[in-house]
Amino acid sequence: MSIQIDYRFPPGVNAEKQANVIAIGQTVGSWDDRFSHREESFQRYLAKVIRVVTHDSGHSTATVEFPVANTEGDIGSLLTMIFGKFSMAGSGKVTAIRLPEDYGQRPMVGLSGIRDRLQVHDRPLVMAIFKPALGLTAADHTGILREVAAAGLDIIKDDEIMGNLDIAPTIDRLKACREVITQTKETTGKELLYATNVTGRAHEILDNAKRLVANGANALLFNTLTYGWSVLESLAQDPEVNVPIFMHPALAGALCGAPDHGFNYASILGTLAAHAGADAVLYPAHYGSLPFEKSEEMAIRDALRDRNVFPVPSAGIHPGVVPRAIADYGNDVILNAGTGIMDHPSGPASGVTAFFEALDRLESGRSFIIDEVPDSALKTALKKWMV
């Protein structure tokens, strides 16, 4: 088995030369006659350049094939091998990571498991974000959750910057929201997932996650790129953390935003996330509020779904983009809205209702032209975000 990596180099860079530098320098390194008796062993661990393609833009893409035996089967050793020291050597960007099916791990819950837990199998899921992000108390979170839960919301998450802060400690937020979730289930029979943000030092995070689950957390939010891939892997394989883990893309732009350095988004938020055990992954939608390429978004979608991971397009999602989102994703998508729900002029409950009205309207083939939409939560949302 092997691992294939595509490296894209800008015009003027000798791609074949640089690819050979990677193949040798990121594996065995050079050797001389003193080690000629180890030649056979070196060849087993040496990477190889298997193709170089020059594009019309003048960029070139080189594919390097690495032996799987050079890694420990995790994301950390993989990244160290494919783009460790060389990442500081000048222009070059990883644009594809092709791993064996059994590399890393699959999600413990995943797309199908999230649907099973919610008992919703025939439509997209609707997700909200607690807003404002900072400054709310645990009681404030409870009030917001009560509103959106009554409207039939499927999932809500902490904002990624809402950590274990004095104004609303994580365990206090969880306990307060857990009461609403339990009451909603007793009243309506409907489950609601609350992705609680798990934070801490490396040696604390796993214990913190277990503590949250023991206190009723039925989902977790984790900022993988700021806290570490190995932490995600530990969370994802621990049997006591038996709830879906929603991976947030915080810091992804620093790794992926430069045109000729770092990684493309599909490698980080698609391939690696899908092989590290995430159950659902958030990333920008190309029609949202952050600059993002549709090709990257669709590549992320496909990489995640191939391993039963829920895609969660985010950032600027509101009821007016539902037709575009469903055209791109069909039913297997989580529509994640922060202000698109919380800033609805009639309140958060109406924000949730507007999403469900949009899904119903789309399914029945009715128009989204504002003048043709009857007075409703959806029409109010369209007037706010589409005019």
pLDDT at 215 over 80: yes
CATH number at residue 195: 3.20.20.110
Mean pLDDT of 157-165: 96
pLDDT at 33: 59
Q: Among all chains, which residue has been given the structure tokens 């950390």?
A: 76
Q: How confident is the model at residue 41 (pLDDT cuts 50, 70, 90)?
A: confident
Cα–Cα distance, 215 to 235 (Å, whole number):
16
117 with 164, same domain: the answer is yes
Count how many domains the chain has. Answer: 2
Other beta carbons within 10 Å of 379:
18
Q: Do both 243 and 218 map to the same domain? A: yes
157, 287: one domain: yes
Which one of the listed residues 17, 85, 185, 383 is annotated catalytic? 85
Report if residue 75 sits inside a domain. yes
| pLDDT for 129 | 98
For residue 35, give its domain range: 2-98
pLDDT of residue 31: 59
Q: How far apart are CA 104 and CA 335, in angstroms?
A: 27
Query: Are 144 and 81 in a shared domain?
Result: no
32 pLDDT band, cuts 50/70/90, is: low
**Residues 58 and 38 occupy one common structural domain:** yes
- Whether 81 and 180 map to the same domain: the answer is no
Please report whether residue 9 resides in a domain: yes
The yes-or-no verdict on residue 16 having pLDDT over 80 is yes
Q: What is the mean pLDDT of residues 164-174?
A: 97
Residues 124 and 48 in one domain: no
DSSP state of 71: S
Verify whether residue 185 is a known catalytic residue.
no
Confidence band of 27 (pLDDT split at 50, 70, 90) = confident
**Whether 130 and 66 share a structural domain:** no
pLDDT digits (tens, 9 = 90+) for 103-126: 999 999 999 999 999 999 999 999
**Do 227 and 122 belong together in one domain?**
yes
Q: Which of 65, 98, 131 is the last residue of a domain?
A: 98
pLDDT the model gives residue 45: 85
Domain assignment present for 103: no
Q: What is the reported pLDDT for 43? A: 80
Q: Which two tokens stand for residue 253?
A: 């732009």
Q: Percent of the chain, pLDDT > 90?
A: 91
Is 210 within a domain? yes
Same domain, 40 and 8: yes
Distance set, CA 319 to CA 23, 136, 286 (Å) = 48, 25, 15
Query: CA angle, corner 78, sides to 203 and 213, nearest 5?
Result: 35
Here the CATH number for the domain that contains residue 88 is 3.30.70.150
Give the CA dihedral 142, 148, 153, 155, nearest 10 degrees.
Answer: -40
Domain boundary residue among 64, 98, 132?
Answer: 98
Residue 61 bridge partners (DSSP): 8, 53
Q: Is the dihedral of CA 49, 5, 329, 55 positive or negative?
A: negative
Position 231 in a domain: yes
Mean pLDDT for the chain? Answer: 95
Q: Which of 41, 69, 98 is the last residue of a domain?
A: 98
Phi first, then psi, for residue 371 (nearest 5°) are -65, -15
Q: What is the model's pLDDT at position 77?
A: 98
Domain shared by 116 and 177, yes or no: yes
- Residues 89 and 122 both lie in one domain: no
370-387 tens-digit pLDDT: 999 999 999 999 999 997
Domain assignment present for residue 105? The answer is no
